[in-house]
Structure 1
Amino acid sequence: MAQRWVDLDAQGHVNNAAVLDYLQEARVAYLSDSPNAHLLGNGIVVVGQQVEYLAPLGFGVGPLTAEVAVGEVGASRFTIAYTLHEGGLLAVRARTTLCLFDFASGRPTRLAPPERAWFAEQAVPLEPLRDVGGWHVGGAAHEHPVAVRWSDIDRYGHVNNTLYFDYVAEARVALYGALLDAPIRTGTGETPERTWLVARQDLTHTRQMVFRREPYVVRTAIGALGRTSSTLAAQIVDPVTGDVAARAVSVVVHGDAHGQPTPLPEPLHAAAARWPAVPGTRAGGRP
């Protein structure tokens, strides 16, 4: 697996959302070489993702290798675990929960006994990722419209799971822009005042998103604030129906021009009172 030049963001490293493409490539390759390869064309949907970013990924730094394993296996769901190494350095740990889904009935469907048996044979105990809490978006939140592009649609006719992280990131950058002067680096020739490093992102899918001309809305609220890190809760909402398509929790570290953690800017503390996230249990959902 190789990093692509187009995966790099304005900060010069692989964008956090692009990592989801790498995970999907690794998962598809793993399942394609298995006795359950036929499931890839029969309605496997992603219902949840957890991604822990341990080190930034560069371009041409070293080979990118992925290790894939099966975790918990249920009647209709199973978990895939990943580690991504760049030149021998552990850069990412992640989990994806997938579900076999019948689009005709709009309901999950059970794995056939041979399908479940193969996953169970591969299953190994997984070390839990750090708990980031069950933050939720309340009544007050920063709101940002996001448009679904035609190219965002996958073979099932709905938005591919990897794009949800893009929508959450767009809204997060817009939130910073509403609070700060020069919130992000915008050009390769400038010296940035600050950087933002995503340390962790969890996302739960609750409804499918489809292509349409009307934008969806990402509502973002601010949860726990540390000295250098902030926890943000987000939800992607259909403003027409009020339905929530996905819920996300992100942990973002504020850094200086060189990426070294520095104290959070004061406007972010003020915004936490204006757009407070609500603590609670971890959000669940079904596709």
Structure 2
Amino acid sequence: MTQYIYQARVRWADQDAQRHVNNVVYVDYLQEARVDWILDGPHPELLNHGITVVAQQVEYVSPAYFGGDSIIIRLWVSRVGGARFTVAYEVSQGDTLVARATTDCAPYDVTAHRVRRLTAAERAWLDDWSGPQITFRDLPQVPWDRGSGVEYPVRVRWSEVDACGHINNVAILTFLQEARIAVLEEARGRDGWGRPGADISWLVAAQQIEYRTEMPYRIEPYLAELVVLHLGSSSMSLEVQIRDPRLDVLHAAGRVVLVCADGQGRPRRISDTVRAALRPITMTAGGPYGD
């Protein structure tokens, strides 16, 4: 199997309150590796003419840190279709595997504002990088009605617009994180998590996002709605949807598994305070990560 190898340098600003590389930053590293791979190949038009990210999935295996070894990303193509391909990644720091991930991509006609088919030459190049598919643990899927969750306004920054004039895929993941933190901040009561040195934290174990339609920049906020899909003894699964409230358009839907942990990263029971606060927006009980 042929792999493209990319080295990412961890910046000081990439850390979160627990001094781990933030979960969203991993996806930024994946984007940098993917762009580097495309521009280094014979078909830079995949970027010049437009490419859209359809979906992403990440499983976080171990924390990464600032001040240690560089982040090494090994990249290959796990699937090629007529108008879509999947890029697979293994992310390591030193000898430690820290994450596995996939990105579903589609070539995009910027002028016509639609997905286009891959050319024969593009398909042949992608086939040269073919490798195995990555199997992830299933994230919970629970049907729920709009209005069941907590709403949070999402305001876009001008710096989050990409070269195609849309909100960049990594920025949308940041919106999901922002909504999640805001809702949990309300739920935590007197629990001291989320602060540097706290003995309680929430670790992201896995997340998946589907991008339904592009988000243009605008001053008016978009609307995020969050529900709890599963609530276990030490983990919970959430879903966040981002919509345009004026046009009733769904732009993105993301699901994430969070694990409540102590200061050493060991799972601990979710407090009764948080359980009581989240009960009105919890769809089912139980959890997928050992609960």
TM-score (norm 1): 0.91
Please list every run of 5 or more consecutive structure 2 residues that lacks an aligned counterpart in the other structure.
1-7, 286-291
Counterpart residue number, 2:76 = 69
Out of 206, 210, 215, the residue aligned to residue 209 of structure 1 is 215
Counterpart residue number, 1:50 = 57
Q: How many Å separate the matches in 2 of 1:137 and 1:31?
A: 39
Q: How many Å separate the matches in 1 of 2:91 and 2:190?
A: 32
Out of 183, 186, 189, the residue aligned to residue 181 of structure 1 is 189
Counterpart residue number, 2:174 = 166
Asked if the contact 1:82–1:95 (Cα under 8 Å) also holds between the matched residues in 2, the reply is yes
Deviations 1:88-129 (A, max 9, x none): 100010000000112333321101111112212321221311
Report 1 or 2 for greater relative contact order, CA contacts < 8 Å, sequence distance ≥ 6.
1
Please list every run of 5 or more consecutive structure 1 residues that lacks an aligned counterpart in the other structure.
280-287
Out of 187, 190, 199, the residue aligned to residue 205 of structure 2 is 199
Residues 43, 118 of structure 1: CA spacing in aligned structure 2 closer, same or farther, 3 A cutoff?
same
- Give the deviation of 1:184 after TM superposition: 6.0
AA of the residue aligned to 1:67: R
Residues 118, 164 of structure 1: CA spacing in aligned structure 2 closer, same or farther, 3 A cutoff?
same
Asked if the contact 1:216–1:236 (Cα under 8 Å) also holds between the matched residues in 2, the reply is yes
Deviations 1:62-103 (A, max 9, x none): 221110000110011000001110011000100000001123
Counterpart residue number, 1:119 = 126
Asked if the contact 1:207–1:244 (Cα under 8 Å) also holds between the matched residues in 2, the reply is yes
Q: CA RMSD in A?
A: 1.8
AA of the residue aligned to 1:235: Q
Counterpart residue number, 2:258 = 252
Counterpart residue number, 1:285 = none
What is the aligned length? 277
Residues 155, 236 of structure 1: CA spacing in aligned structure 2 closer, same or farther, 3 A cutoff?
same
- Aligned-residue identity in percent: 36
AA of the residue aligned to 2:51: I
Q: How many Å separate the matches in 2 of 1:271 and 1:123?
A: 47
Asked if the contact 2:187–2:278 (Cα under 8 Å) also holds between the matched residues in 1, the reply is no
Q: Does 1:10 align with 2:17?
A: yes
Counterpart residue number, 1:153 = 161
Deviates more, 1:177-186 or 1:63-72: 177-186
AA of the residue aligned to 1:141: G
TM-score (norm 2): 0.90
Residues 182, 241 of structure 1: CA spacing in aligned structure 2 closer, same or farther, 3 A cutoff?
farther
